[in-house]
Every structure is written in C-alpha cells, then in structure tokens.
A and B are shown apart, each in its own frame.
Chain A
Amino acid sequence: MENIDTKLREEAKRLLLEKRVDVIVGYEQGTLPLTATPCFITTPEEADKLVWNNLCTQNLAKYVHDLIIAHKNSQKRVKPEDRKKKVIGVVARGCTTRSLIIHLQERQYDRDSVYIIGVPCDGYIDGKGLKVAVGGADISEGSLDGGQIKMKTSDGDKTVALKDVLADNCKTCRFNNPIISDVMIGQNAPAMNPDAEYNDVKEFEGKSIEERWAYFTKEMEKCIRCYACRQACPSCYCPTCFVEQSQPQWVGIGEDPSDTQVFQLMRLFHMVGRCVDCGSCISVCPMGVDLRKFLKKLDKDCFEFFGNRAGSNMEDMPPLGKYDEHHDKGDFVFNP
C-alpha cells in the first residue's frame, strides 16, 4: 500500500505541475482513527496528503460531478470566448469509474474534463461493521496491517480480519478494478466474489409478496428523510431533486409514511441501470435502512431484462437510454 500511496502522490504532483488537471479529488487521512476522507488537491505541494487504502469509502465521482457542474455554472456568466475549461483529476477505483461512465453517458461532462487516476481496490471497511466487530467499543487508534486491522479500543487492543469487516457491496464486487482510466496506479487487484452477488436478492425473491412488502414497510419506517443517501449518491445529480420540486409537489413534506415510501420508491426507480453498488448511500445512512436489498433487486432485474450492468462499459447505455422501437422485446412486462 505504501507503494501505491507514493505512486499516487507522484502522479498527482506531475499532473498538477504539468497543469494537466486543475484539481485532484482524492482521499486523505481522516481525523478519526481508521478513517479516510475526501480531499481536493490543487497544488503539487498538497499532493503528499493523498492516501489510498481500505478506509477510502466515498465514491469520489460525486465530487467530480459537483466540481464540474459548479464550474460550468460559474462560466455561464463569462463571455463565451473567455470561458475556461476545468479538468478534474480523480482517484478512482472500480465503482468510481462506473459512476464516471454513467456521468459521461449522460453527457454530464466531456471525457477530457476528467483525468482518471485508476487505483486497484480490494474493498473498503464497513465502519458500522467494524464497530460491531469490536463489540461497540470506541476505537482510539488503529492501523491496517496486511489482512489485519489492529486497534486500540476502550475495550483494549483488538485485531480483526479485514475480510470480515469489508462492506457487503465490496465482498461480492464484480468491478473492483477501474473500467476506464487515464493512468493506472499499481496492478489490478484480485477478483472479489461476484458469484455471490445476488445471493441475498435471491433469498428475498423467494419470500411471499406479503413478506416482502412487510420488509419494505419496516425498512422505510426507519427512514427519517435526511436525504443523506441522495447527497452521497453519485447518480443523484439532478439540479433539483423531485423531493424539492413544487409545481407539482411530487412528495409530501409531512410525516406520512407513504410519502417516505414514495420518496424511496422513486429514488430507487431512478437508480435502475444507474446504481453502481458503491455503497455510498448505505455508509451514510444514519438509520441503517437496508437500501441495498432493493437496489440490488433492481440491478438484477435490469441485468436480466435488459442485459445491462450500470456503467460497466462506455457503450452500454442504461435501459432508458437505449430505447429501440424496432428491436426492444416486449416481454419485459412481467408479474412480480
């Protein structure tokens, strides 16, 4: 890992020095033990902050989009001939590149507006899982050592195997290495366990409609509509989210549970063919709503009905973006 950090910093410095990029979005060490946090590097000097390890949780594509759109908006007030282009460098693992692909397919920015620094990924630690693994104790210090996480906690020293506390999405990840990149740091990481990708979903599908509905209702009852999931999601980039739209007001702002259901249903619907299973929404959810169950079900359906895996390559558009009057099969209408 040390090796990767070094290479990453060198590459970042080079890009900034050569003015290939205006900013690099990457991760730096977090202020709390065993955490990493996104950072924005604009000078070669800052590049040494960059880290890349199993603590890097967030999908940085979200920040790429934000930066580019903010820049575009700022340029609207500039005379066309004076407008400047901004290039964003981004440290990207598999799921991040999938999100970038979706952005590109959805014409959010040009390919040359983003410089992708690919990094191999063997999964990130699920913070909540780690907490559980240490029996809820507060962690005061910690370090990653090969496949082990060594910690000082309020309960004393603890060691946990990394593979045991990886995030669910990482455990069965199919795309842990970058799909597209401008430069690749290090070698591709070994494959995870994609064969088990839909195990949970299959089990869920086996249940009765009533059981599934009950589960949905139960999970939705937890939701406090803080919209953290949406904020974290790289695919949620609408200028104005439907929950904030009036004329018409799509979702009530009161406490009616059905409004929460409507919000989540519609957000889930918007994720069909667009969710890269980066786990951002899960990691930020303060209430621990099992969003992934539903997202994964939709992901499975999307693959089965339309042969599409979100952002798996530049050419394969999401289902709604590849409508073909003459060749689409009509049998996607099915019984639940």
Chain B
Amino acid sequence: MLKDNEKVGAVMVVGSGIAGIQASLDLANSGMKVYLVENGISIGGVMAQLDKTFPTNDCSACILSPKLVEVGRHPNVEIKTRRTVNSVEGEPGKFKVKMTSAPRFVNLDKCTGCGDCAKVCPVSVPAGFNGNLSERKAVYRHFPQAIPSGFAIDKVGTSPCKAHCPTHISVQGYVALIAEGKFKEALKLIKQDNPFPIVCGRVCNHPCETACMRAKVDDPIDIMHLKQFVADLDLNSDTRYIPEKKESKGKKVAVVGAGPSGLTCAYYLAIEGYDVDVFEALPVAGGWLAVGIPEYRLPKNVLKAEIKIIEDLGVKIHLNKRVGKDISFDKLKSDYSAIFIGCGTMKSSKLNIPGEDMKGVVHGVDYLLKVNLGEKVSLGDKVAVIGGGNVAMDAVRTAVRTGSKEVFILYRRTRAEMPASPEEIEEAIEEGIEMKFLVAPKKVVGKDGKVTGIECTRMELGEPDASGRRRPVEIKGSEFIVECDAIVPAIGQEADLSFITKESGVSINKWNNVDFDKITYATNVPGIFTGGDVSTGPQTVVKAVFSGKEAAKSIDRYLRGEDMKTGREKDWTKDLADKADLSNFSKVPREKYPLMKPEDRKTNFKEVGLGFSEAQAKAEALRCLSCGVCSECYQCVDACIAKAIDHDMTVTEETIEVGAIIASAGFEIFDARLRGEYGYGIYKNVVSALQFERILSASGPFFGHVQRISDGKEPKKVAFIQCVGSRDTSCGNSWCSSVCCMYATKEAIIGKEHAKGLEPTIFYMDIRAHGKDFDRFVNRAKNEYGIRYIRSMPSVIKELQQTNNLLITYVNQDGTLTEEEFDMVVLSVGLMPPKEAKQLAASLGVELEEHGFCKTSLENPVQTSRPGVFVCGAFGGPKDIPETVMEASAAAACAEGLLAAKRGTMITPVENPEEKDMRGQGVRTGVFVCHCGINIGGVVDVPAVRDYAATLPTVVYTADNLFTCSQDTAVKMKEVIEEQNLTRVVVASCSPRTHEGLFQENCEKAGLNRYLFEMANIRDQNSWVHMHEPKEATEKAKDLLRMAVAKAQYLKPLKPGQLSVNHQALIIGGGLAGMTAAMSLADQGFASFIVEKEDRLGGNYNHLYKTLEGLDAQTHLKGLLDKIYKNPLITVTTGAKIEKIEGFIGNYKTTVKAKDGEKVFEHGVVIVATGAYENKTKEYLYGQNPCVKTQRELETMIYGKDAKLAAVKNIVMINCVGSRDKERPYCSRYCCSEAIKNALELKAADPSRDITIIYRDIRTFAFKEDYYKKAREANIKFISYEEDRKPEVVAAGDKVEVNVFDPILNESITLPADAVVLSVGVVPNPENAAIGQMLKVPTNQDGFFMEAHVKLRPVDFATDGVFMCGMSHSPKFSDETVTSSNAAVSRACTILTLDYIEAEGKTAFVNKERCSACGLCEINCPYSAISVNVAEGCAEVNAVLCKGCGVCTASCRMNAVDLNGFNNEEVLAQIFNLNEG
C-alpha cells in the first residue's frame, strides 16, 4: 500500500460516454484532476446518438449537451481524444498509464468548427453516427454540438496508390477531386509532387495502378489517364496553372541535362526562389521524353507545352550546350552555388554478340533519337527488335510507322516477364507486331557487312533471379536463324560521364553511375547532386521526377545551411491503407480508355490515346474506394481560414500518472447481420434500432421524418423485433441487454408522434420494464398509443420484391402460424461488450467476465479485479442510463476514497484579473455580431446588423466575426474590451443557454464583471427559423440586438454570495444504503450521522442470505457493521426519530429524538436512505393458509435449514403479487430473480421437487438471464398469466391447489402444491412523505422519492444538498443499492469538499425603501430564500438559497423585490425597444 503522500490526485477516465462524463464531473467537482480519455474524436458516446430517452421522452441531446459543455469547459478535466491505453503500471494511488495518441490532423486550439473544410473535402464515407444512413466527409465531426467542437480527419493509413507512386502524389486525392469535378484543384495537387502530369499521364509505368485496391474488386482505377485528363484540360486552358514563386534567394544553381530529373529539379528550385540554368547537349529539351519516346505516345508539342511552364517559372534552358565540351564542369562548379547532374543514360547498351557492328544494326536509343529529331531512318521491310522493355516497344512501333512491313520482337523470356507496360504490349500486338518469346540472339548474320538475319537460340525459364523473374536458360542445340533486314537491339542504356573531370572529385561507381546518397541525392562532393537515370541506370520517368524533386529539396536545405536528412526517411509501405473490407463494393467496370483504331494509327505518328471525356473521367474517378479515407488532397488546408489543418501530425506516445482509473468504455451494438434470417444489410427496410433512433432524430439523416430506406416513403406498419443478439445463445449472447424492451417502446411511441399513421407492433419474449416508472410507460404505449405487443419471436423475414415490404412469419401463443406484411422492420439489437474490450482489459490489467464484459466484484459492482481500477456503465454489463450514471458517480466516489488525501493537489484554480474600476466611465457598449460561418451570415445581412448596432445609444465599438466563439476571437474580444474601455459587451450570435458562459469568461479575462454581458440570439431563434426570409430575418436581428443593447445599459456588476459549508452528513436510514453511504463518506474523510428508526442497523439486508449471483449477504453485512461501529467518523443513532430539520445546503440542523434523549446534529448535506418495505399482501390465502408463504419467508427457511422443507415437494411460486397492478402499477424489479434464486436452491437440494413459477413477464435482465436459463434447464416450469386472469389458490386439506390458465395449452390447469410462494414486491417507506416535507423534497405518485432528473440525476433531489440512495428511490437489488449509495456520496462530496458554496449572481434583491414587509414574497418563494425581517420592516434575500427564479418579484406590488440580471429596468428596456425609435 502506498502512503497517502505518495499518491497522485488525478484520475483517468477511459471512455467518454455518459458514464465517463458523469464520473469526470463528479471527480472534477470534488477537487480531482481528471483525464478523460476517448478513443474517438468527441465525447458523448451512444447517448449522443439517441433521439429521446425513456420513460419521459426527454430529448437525449438536450439533456446531454449541457453535460458535454460542462465537462468540456471544466478547468479540472482534460479531454484526450483519439487515445488508446497501452499499459498501466504501478499500484492503487499511483499508476503510470502509457497511451498512444492518434493524430487528429486538426489543431483543436485553432479550429473554430466552421465546417469549411468539410465543404471542400471530396471524400464521402458513410456516417457511422447516423447508422450509415447518410454520408459524411473524411474531415468531420459527428454532430454540431460535439465536444470537442473541432473537426477531425479520418486517415486509415496511406492509400496504396500514393505509397507506391515513386513521387508519392496524393493519387487518391486527385482522383477524388476529379470525381467532384474539381479539375484545377486536382492538377495543382499533382503538380505539388510532379511537374510532368502531361507526360506521366501518358507514358508512366503507373505503379499506382498496380497497387490499386480496386483491382481486388474488379479492375484498378485508370489513374494515369485521369491524370492525363486534368493535365490536358490545363494544357488547353487560357490561363494555365503556374505555381507561385517564393521570393528570390539570389542564388544560382546549374542543372546538367534537361531530362525529367533535371527539369523537375529546376522546377522546384525555381519555386523556392533560385535562379536555375539548365545545360542540354541536344537541340531539344526533355531528354529521353523528347528523343526516346515516340511522337504517337507523347506528342512533341505537348511535351514542349509542359516544359514551357518550367521556363515560365524562370528556368533558363541552354540547348546545344554540352557540358564538358561547350562549357566545362569546373566552370559550373565555380559559377554556381550548386550543381545537379541529371544527364541520363543516352548510350545504348551493346548486345556484345558477333556481327553487332554490321550495317543494319541500329541500337534502339540511337534509332529513336534520330527519328525523334526528325531524321528519316529506313530500316527495311523486316525488322527484328530485341528486348522486352518500353524502349523495345517504342522501337518496334516506330519501325512500323517508318514503313517497315514485318516487324517483330525477340525476347528471351515470356510476355509475363516483359518489363514494358501491358498496354504498350497490347497496343503493339494490335498493330500487328509479332512477339517471339523465349528467343535469345547469338550472332548477327550478314552478307557484305550488311545484316540479313540473326541467329537465335531457344530458351526456357529456370529459377527466379534477383529481380524475381524466372531466369531464361538456353536450350542447347536449338539455334535457328531469323531473317531480317535490320536489327534494333533495345536491351539497355548507359550514361556518358566523360564530362565529369577527375579534379571535380565526383565519385563514379562500377556501373558507371554517379554515386549518391539514397535519401538526399547528394554526391560525395558538397554542392553537387544527382538524380535520374545517370545515378540509377535506366529507370522510369516518375522515378526520375522523384529524384529531381528530392534533390531540389536537398539543394534548398544545403544552400540554407540546414541538415539535408532530417525527417526525410520515410517508409511509405509501413502504414498502408490496404485493409479495407471490400465485401460491400459491387463491381463497376473500368472506363474504356479511347484509342485511335489500329488501322488508323499504324501509318503515322499521331497520338494513339484520345483522352477521356469529362463524363468518363468523373465516372472512372468515382470508382475509387477511398482506401485511406482522407485522400490527402489538401483542399481543407487551403479552405481553413484558421490554419487549423495539419496533415503532418503523427502518432505519439504519452505517459500520464494518475492515482486511479475508471473504465467506462461503454458497449457495442450487436451486428444484426449475424442474424441472417432477418435480412439486415440485405433488405433495405430492415434497420437496426439505433438506425431508427437516428431516423427519428431531428438532427438525423431525414430530419426526424420517419421514412423507409428503399423509397423514402412514410411507413405505416412497422415491426419491432426484440432480442436480436440478446438472450440468444446461437450467437453466443446469453445475456439480456436490459434496455431494448424500453427503447423499442419509446421508438414506437416517438415514431407514432412523428408519423401519426404509424402502426407499430412489438414482437417480444418478455417485456422487461423493470425500472422506475417503466411499466407505466409500457401501459401508456399500449393504451394511449395503441401499440401492439405480440409475445412471439418471428423466425424469418422475407422481402417482397415489388414493394420492398417485409413478410414476417410468427407463431401465435396457441401454436398457429401467422404471416403478416410490414413496411419496415426495426431490429432491437442488443448490447455487446465494446470492440476493444479485450485489448483494453489487457492494457488496464483487469479481467473480463465470461460474456466479455468487465468483471466486477459482487460486493461493489464498480470494483474491477484490479484494485484502483474501477468500472462503470455498460462496460460492466448492459444497463440503462440512470444505472450508468449511478455507477459513474459510484466509481468516482471509490476513486476519491482512494485518493482523498490528495484532493485538490493537481488542479489549477482559475485566476482572473481584478475587475477594473468603472466609476465615471459611463456606459460604453461593444457589440460583436457573429456570422457563425454561414449559419447566421447565410441568412442575415450581418454587416448591416453590425452597422446598425453602431447607431444605437451607448455603442462605441462594433465588429462582426466569422466565429465569435473561436479562440482567436476570444483573444480579440479581450483586447477590444481593454482598448476600447468597454463597460458592456453584447454578442449577437447563438443561444445564451449554450454560449453565455464562454463569453462571460472572455469578459472576466478582460477585467469586466461577467454580468455586464448580454446576448441576442440571432441564430437559433432567427436565422435558423427564418431561413427563407433573409430580409425579415435581418430586421429581426436588428430588433433583437437593439433590445439586447438597451438591456445592457442597465446591467449591473454582480458579486455572487458565499455560504460556509459544514463538512458532515446526515444519513436518514441505516439499511444497506445508509451504511454503505456512511462507509464511503468515511473513506473520503467525512463524518456522518446515521439515524435509524429501528433498534438495529441493516434494514432489509438483515433478511437477505445470498444473492442470485452468490454473494453471502450475511457475511457482508457483518463485516460492514463491524467497520461502521469501529469507524470514529460514523455516529450511529438507532431507535431514533427525526423531529425536525432546519436550515439549508451547507448548514443543516437536525433534531433527533432517541431513547437516550434529544440530539441535535449539524451537517452540510442530507442523504436519504429510508429504504422500502416488503409488501404485506392478503391475496392468495396469505396469512390464512400456512402453505402460503412469501419469498422472504422461504429464503429464511432455506438458509435456516428448516427441517419442514424436506417434505415440501410440489412448489408453486406466483410472481407480481401486489406489483404491476392497479394499486401499485410498478415493477418491484428483484422478485423474478428472487423466485428463480429460491427455486434453483430448492431444486439443487432435492431434484425430485416439482417447481412451477407463475409469472407475468420474467424480468431477469442482464446476466441474471443466465439463471433463468439455468432454471429452465433444471426443469423448473414457467407459466405466464395476464393481470386480468390471475391464478387462484384454494385450500385442499393440509395442502393447497393453484388453478391457473396455461396459455400454451390454452386451458386452465390445477397444480397441487405443498407450498405456494408469493413474490410480494416492494412498497415505499410510508414515512417518505413526512421526511420529504421536512426536507422540502417531493415523492412520486407511488410514494418513492422523486429524483431531480430520471436519467442524469438519479440520486440528486431538485433541492440542493439533499441526496437519495437505495430503495427510497425505487426497488433495487442489493448491489444496485450499494452503487446508488456510493453515487449519492459522490454527489454529496461535490458539496462537502467545498469550503464555501458560491451562489449564482443572478439573485433577487430588495429595495428597502419600497418594501412594506407584506410577506407575499416569502409565501411564494419555492426555495425559502426570502423572508421578512420583522424588526427591520422589510424582506431579506438569502442569496445562496435564491435560484433567481424571480417569483418574488412578480408577487411584489411595490416592485420592492427585483432580480439581478433580469431586473425590471432591464426587462422593460427590452420591451420599450421592441420597436425602433
């Protein structure tokens, strides 16, 4: 165990759904530093995707958003998105957590969330947030209110095309841009990495296409010709794209050779601002491109046009200047700051066979050079070209065009090994060229020194050689002679390096190439660089281009004196985006690239390729699979005004020290495709419940309009199928997902509210409405909304072809089959462990339970197998939001208990400058009008509103901002307030409900009291709701702004009140809930008083022996009692009655009457743990016949080893006795499990026993379902009954009989029983109302206490400082009670840890002169915050209690009470300014 002072006062919360958020807030509000770690790009989890929440149908986003904002803005919470936890070392109190941080590619400090990036992003992918029912861009955020609000870019690695392109152009990027019709942008993108798109669009060997993933679906994208398409568009446009040049650097660089590498080098150097001279020996520029590649492949004028751009950049090309002859290399060395050698390999390699010097042998290079320079070369009729590369193809096809009749190729391997590009080969064959494979030349045969033929031998393929191709092996004795007039060997080229002098010191290697560094392309001599074929031997154009580009980068760095190597080494294949699931893509054939007909092209040098049309180009580009998601087209970089995009971000590692960890990784939705019989993923109108949730959502893909996916029509009949992926061992999910019955009911209700004609049907096994008020909700669905519930599980769904309707076959209760047609089917998919559960568990060092969820302790459901690591929410098992929130708070409490000593040590208090002295300044108002991107600016004439503001009284400064909420505007606002000496700030933008706090902080940072701020809501309540009336919306914006400015005049600087806090707690009730709360408080160092009205502690827990899961409750209770009585911080008063409770949050005084007299406790908070009681029933002969018992009585007999039990053989259990009826229309939650627990126990003791459980619905939710299954396997019988057809118990001698209608047999049966056991359920503590009255807190219609909010504040009361736990809230299992108690403590600690409670500044105040002390305000105040001081003769406000509702003000005839922040002058100023003037 660590000592307290060695611990760390910080907690890491892993997973940021509602569980993570709640835990973070509780921790942060109790003085802990919190790291909220999230895998994704924003927080909120699944709750953010939900439309509504049951059973109140509150808007999920509405109740979640404030929490998102609060946690997002909390100074003690650091949100870390895109993080993966790798390992956790250390011990409770001090862990070292190693994490990987994946890049977001958007700088959150700069991003304003404007969405301009997404607008230009060409890549659309399915929007997972909307259940893939809509698309989003590669740069995105999930929803507009997301926190962090910034965007993120999805990259799943480098797309293979980009990785394999030697120049690493963002291939996917320009393809995507072409698909969007952004051709200019595409060209610009290409030219960032390759100045030769015209060339490479024609003659590239396109390794990109080889790597293209589309090839695995059908054919690769025709990337090369797409490039040609955009390059040609530019070529033919009036204003061609010339990149912007940087300022001149005043340095000269010489380039030797005007081939692709040299010109590329020159191009990028010129852009960098260097003066470049290119020296070329030939009379044309372009090198091999000009003199090697034939006209029909690369027309000369096109090449010239491409080179012209380079010249336009200022590069001087000196033709006919051979270095070494026309100008010496040494002179270059002395005249230029750097030299690039890129002179290529212009010498043909020799065959080195006898007769090579005969007339008629023309080497390929020379041959093409001559032809290309316009020389007429006639080879004769029959020409043999030797070689299989592109030069061979060029030579052979040129020969065809220069009039040779029979031209053929001799190649020593087969076609498969030919290095020439396949289309070249294809086109050559089309042109009638014969290819003789596995043939090698031996000697030239001639006559009179002139060629007549060539002697060859046949070859066969042997073992693969170094290049991976199979090595040709000569077949002995297979020589033969091929007759021909000319032989064109095209087997290779060499460099001519004669110009490089020895004195220059440039090292030349054994292959006669210039030696160079593989990354920098620097030679051994500083200042001299090289690239292209001269350095590597003959290679491709793109490789030459790449070397030129890289050399230019080196030269720039060299000339600037920087290190040339830093950060340049990159393995492009390391992070390939080639893992995509291709199964969803259908085949789309490759666009056929149009060629001139063979017969038309054979006789001339016209370009063979005709180029794509625009439509073809777009169609071809659309075939792209977007392997990398982000295409790296960099459009976003240009579009982002805030300069927030950074594509160079990389994966980083970080280590953080924390004292405890809370895992809240949530859950995964079951993939309904695994239940193939329902056709999910195949039938369009079969959707998952989450998809339907998005369909219902106003912010969803269809804006809340309920529609079918197939045709967009509003469905009428919708079937919900429950338990898809739950309670289903066939897919390995034995558990019940706990929430589906309720969410299906909710979706059916909301669906019906959205589409009045909807007829929902829910197919279910049991309706599990086991939560607070859930049964009422289901009853409403049935009775008020007419939703049909059918107890049956459809076995199969068929789609009807014509209508896309769905035919469901299901079995009725009586065994008959029904076939019914539905318009739409919603699958209530279950909750699975999160995808990363295994990895996360391993990293955190915690165990998973058998289903794959996090394993938890039986005593404390938030404790994992590793001390110091806690779990909450669905990661620990499927559960609903309130339980999740309770667990979150409970986990926070446990973490705090561990780290209480270090509370407040890691947080940084917010410090604001002193408020400035405004005396004598008068009212000086600054107005900021927001465009909100286009949200406001797109409708309202913002500049006009801004100008109008300037005309208003008191306004001294106006501005309009693109985003007033952005960080830079915040800085600006602060400066303006200071510079302009503003005393009021008015922002016209969005809703004060979301943004007031942010702007108020800006004011505070500038020394302006936060209450001197006012907002005009010109977005949510103007531009968004008047989108089609820009003129009227502008007028309204002016009105709203005028009203706000008028109000602002009267604003007053306010100081919130403070109230001291007593750090002790009163706990009402000493059952399991109260005891756990006391222990938890003590762990955190807070004293508590337990007041129990019985004579002993323990409450209902005294009667529990074992839980369903096997916890020995009595041992647990004993341990707890022992600890309680030993703990000096806990004062127990039993047999006590609360007489009165006085005071309010922070300062309570409670008088208790105990046996030993009256006691008075002073405390700061109250925890209500009044528990509940077992229902006392009179039904089913209970109390009249000794055979009829309650489950509790049975349990006592079982564990008390009662001898009478032995004779009890036939047992009938009846569930829902006194629950779910008219009098108590709620479910008691635990009875089903209790019945099964006892039944299993009885059966285990004596398997011969006959046990029947008569039930309404079996509600063994979550993992309890396993025990239900076990019970069925143990042959315990289950018979269901309806409320209106209850079973009957009649006495039969010393036994009883139970008559019950069996719906499966469809008849009444009689069950003889030795014992009838009743599950009698829970009733609330009858004293709740009285205690509620003392505390001024309400109970609900059933008599349980009413929480502040059913979903998000389950243990809070609306009244501050009062909390509840255990069954005072609703029926609970014992472990749930423990959780709720810890949760209540966590909530209480947010107050107990404070020295002072700060009140809201907007509170009521009394103008004494006007007050007549009539006391109406006192009567009407709901918070007891105002009262009449009789001696003073006027009313007084307790500012801490005051919530600023203003009821007192309205009741005051004298207008003596007024409300700060909304005072009469302020509101009237708004009213008086409704109209202008």
Q: Which residues of A contact B (CB under 8 A)?
A: 72, 76, 80, 106-108, 237-240, 242, 245, 247-248, 250, 270, 317, 320-323, 325
B1413: Cβ under 8 A from any A Cβ: yes
Given A106-B1416, A248-B1465, A321-B1419, check contact A239 B1411 (CB 8 Å): yes
How long is the Cα–Cα vector from A317 to B1451 in the complex, in angstroms? 14
- B1327 to chain A: closest CB distance in Å? 18
- A333 to chain B: closest CB distance in Å? 15
One of A238, A321, A325 near B1410 (C-beta < 8 A): A238
Contacts of A240 in B (CB 8 A): 1409-1410, 1454
Contacts of A80 in B (CB 8 A): 1431
Q: Is the pair B1415, A322 in contact by a Cβ cutoff of 8 Å?
A: no
Q: Is the pair A245, B1455 in contact by a Cβ cutoff of 8 Å?
A: yes
Beta-carbon nearest neighbor of B1434 in chain A: A239
- B1345 to chain A: closest CB distance in Å? 15
Beta-carbon nearest neighbor of A238 in chain B: B1454
How long is the Cα–Cα vector from A72 to B1431 in the complex, in angstroms? 10
Contacts of B1411 in A (CB 8 A): 239
B1411-1458: which residues lie under 8 A (CB-CB) from chain A?
Answer: 1411-1416, 1419-1420, 1422, 1428, 1430-1431, 1433, 1451, 1453-1456
B1027: Cβ under 8 A from any A Cβ: no
Q: Is the pair A248, B1464 in contact by a Cβ cutoff of 8 Å?
A: yes
Beta-carbon nearest neighbor of B1471 in chain A: A248
Q: Which has the most chain B C-beta neighbours within 10 Å: A76, A107, A245, A317?
A: A107
Contacts of A237 in B (CB 8 A): 1412
One of B1410, B1419, B1430, B1431 near A245 (C-beta < 8 A): B1410
Contacts of A76 in B (CB 8 A): 1433
Q: Is the pair B1455, A320 in contact by a Cβ cutoff of 8 Å?
A: no
- A-B pairs, 10 with minimum CB distance: A106-B1414, A248-B1465, A238-B1454, A107-B1415, A248-B1468, A270-B1453, A323-B1420, A248-B1464, A321-B1419, A240-B1410
How long is the Cα–Cα vector from A107 to B1427 in the complex, in angstroms? 12
Contacts of B1419 in A (CB 8 A): 317, 321-323
Q: Is the pair A239, B1451 in contact by a Cβ cutoff of 8 Å?
A: no
Beta-carbon nearest neighbor of B1468 in chain A: A248
Q: Is the pair A239, B1410 in contact by a Cβ cutoff of 8 Å?
A: yes
Beta-carbon nearest neighbor of B1414 in chain A: A106
Contacts of A72 in B (CB 8 A): 1433
> Given contacts A76-B1433, A248-B1468, A250-B1455, could you give 11 more A-B pairs where the C-beta distance is less than 8 Å?
A106-B1414, A107-B1415, A107-B1430, A238-B1410, A242-B1454, A247-B1465, A248-B1469, A270-B1453, A321-B1415, A323-B1419, A323-B1420
Beta-carbon nearest neighbor of A322 in chain B: B1419
How long is the Cα–Cα vector from A203 to B369 in the complex, in angstroms? 116
How long is the Cα–Cα vector from A76 to B1454 in the complex, in angstroms? 21
Q: Which has the most chain B C-beta neighbours within 10 Å: A72, A80, A248, A270?
A: A248
- A274 to chain B: closest CB distance in Å? 9
Q: Is the pair B1468, A238 in contact by a Cβ cutoff of 8 Å?
A: no
How long is the Cα–Cα vector from A331 to B1019 in the complex, in angstroms? 35
How long is the Cα–Cα vector from A80 to B1433 in the complex, in angstroms? 13
Contacts of B1416 in A (CB 8 A): 106, 320-321
How long is the Cα–Cα vector from A106 to B1413 in the complex, in angstroms? 8
- B162 to chain A: closest CB distance in Å? 67
- B421 to chain A: closest CB distance in Å? 83
7 contacts between A and B (CB under 8 A): A107-B1415, A108-B1413, A239-B1456, A247-B1465, A248-B1468, A321-B1415, A321-B1420
Beta-carbon nearest neighbor of B1421 in chain A: A323
Contacts of A242 in B (CB 8 A): 1453-1455
One of A107, A317, A323, A325 near B1428 (C-beta < 8 A): A107
Q: Is the pair B1451, A238 in contact by a Cβ cutoff of 8 Å?
A: no
Contacts of B1468 in A (CB 8 A): 248, 250
Contacts of B1428 in A (CB 8 A): 107
Q: Is the pair A108, B1465 in contact by a Cβ cutoff of 8 Å?
A: no
Q: Is the pair B1455, A106 in contact by a Cβ cutoff of 8 Å?
A: no
Contacts of A270 in B (CB 8 A): 1453
Given A248-B1465, A323-B1419, check contact A107 B1413 (CB 8 Å): yes
How long is the Cα–Cα vector from A8 to B1431 in the complex, in angstroms? 34
- B1454 to chain A: closest CB distance in Å? 5
How long is the Cα–Cα vector from A247 to B1469 in the complex, in angstroms? 11
One of B1412, B1422, B1431, B1469 near A239 (C-beta < 8 A): B1412
- A258 to chain B: closest CB distance in Å? 13
Beta-carbon nearest neighbor of A269 in chain B: B1453
Q: Which has the most chain B C-beta neighbours within 10 Å: A72, A239, A245?
A: A239
Beta-carbon nearest neighbor of A69 in chain B: B1412
How long is the Cα–Cα vector from A250 to B1453 in the complex, in angstroms? 12
Given A238-B1410, A248-B1465, check contact A320 B1422 (CB 8 Å): no
Q: Is the pair B1414, A239 in contact by a Cβ cutoff of 8 Å?
A: no
B460-513: which residues lie under 8 A (CB-CB) from chain A?
Answer: none
How long is the Cα–Cα vector from A108 to B1412 in the complex, in angstroms? 7
- A76 to chain B: closest CB distance in Å? 8
How long is the Cα–Cα vector from A240 to B1408 in the complex, in angstroms? 11
Contacts of A245 in B (CB 8 A): 1410, 1455
- B1425 to chain A: closest CB distance in Å? 15
Contacts of A248 in B (CB 8 A): 1464-1465, 1468-1469
How long is the Cα–Cα vector from A108 to B1453 in the complex, in angstroms? 14
Contacts of B1431 in A (CB 8 A): 80
Given A238-B1453, A238-B1454, check contact A106 B1415 (CB 8 Å): yes
Contacts of A108 in B (CB 8 A): 1412-1414
Beta-carbon nearest neighbor of A76 in chain B: B1433
How long is the Cα–Cα vector from A46 to B1433 in the complex, in angstroms? 33
Q: Is the pair B1465, A238 in contact by a Cβ cutoff of 8 Å?
A: no
- B1320 to chain A: closest CB distance in Å? 30
Contacts of B1456 in A (CB 8 A): 239
How long is the Cα–Cα vector from A107 to B1456 in the complex, in angstroms? 16
How long is the Cα–Cα vector from A320 to B1416 in the complex, in angstroms? 7
Q: Is the pair B1420, A239 in contact by a Cβ cutoff of 8 Å?
A: no
- A237 to chain B: closest CB distance in Å? 6
How long is the Cα–Cα vector from A104 to B1416 in the complex, in angstroms? 12
- A66 to chain B: closest CB distance in Å? 13
Contacts of A321 in B (CB 8 A): 1415-1416, 1419-1420
How long is the Cα–Cα vector from A72 to B1434 in the complex, in angstroms? 12
How long is the Cα–Cα vector from A240 to B1407 in the complex, in angstroms? 11
Contacts of A239 in B (CB 8 A): 1409-1412, 1454, 1456
How long is the Cα–Cα vector from A176 to B4 in the complex, in angstroms? 80
How long is the Cα–Cα vector from A238 to B1469 in the complex, in angstroms? 24
Q: Is the pair A320, B1451 in contact by a Cβ cutoff of 8 Å?
A: yes
Contacts of B1430 in A (CB 8 A): 107
Beta-carbon nearest neighbor of A274 in chain B: B1453
- A79 to chain B: closest CB distance in Å? 13
How long is the Cα–Cα vector from A92 to B1415 in the complex, in angstroms? 25
Q: Which has the most chain B C-beta neighbours within 10 Å: A80, A320, A322?
A: A320
B1359-1417: which residues lie under 8 A (CB-CB) from chain A?
Answer: 1409-1416
